Amino acid sequence: MSVSKFSVAGFALVLALAVTGCAPEVGSEAWCKQMSEKPSGDWTANEAADYAKHCVFK
């Protein structure tokens, strides 16, 4: 593996960690607010179930 492949892999890892580190915890008030602002047609089945569990039926 060349140095440039290591650089790309390292950058991808850092980017992935940065993006996931900024997402609010599922079930938190911030997450519920974020989900309520997201069009419900864009929700996954897991997101819909978590929203019902944590935000509707507290």
pTM for this one? 0.61
pLDDT (0 to 100) of residue 52: 97
pLDDT (0 to 100) of residue 22: 85
pLDDT (0 to 100) of residue 44: 97
Give the ranges where 1-58 is alpha helix by DSSP (H). Answer: 3-21, 29-37, 45-51
Question: Domain range for residue 33?
Answer: 24-58
The per-residue pLDDT for range 1-57, each reduced to its tens digit, is 566 776 766 666 565 555 566 889 999 999 999 999 999 999 999 999 999 999 999
Tell me, yes or no, whether 2 lies in a domain.
no
The total of structural domains in the chain comes to 1
| 8 Å CB contact between 5 and 13 | no
Tell me, yes or no, whether 13 lies in a domain.
no
Tell me, yes or no, whether 19 lies in a domain.
no
Rounded-to-integer distance, Cα 56 and Cα 38, Å = 16
Rounded-to-integer distance, Cα 13 and Cα 48, Å = 28
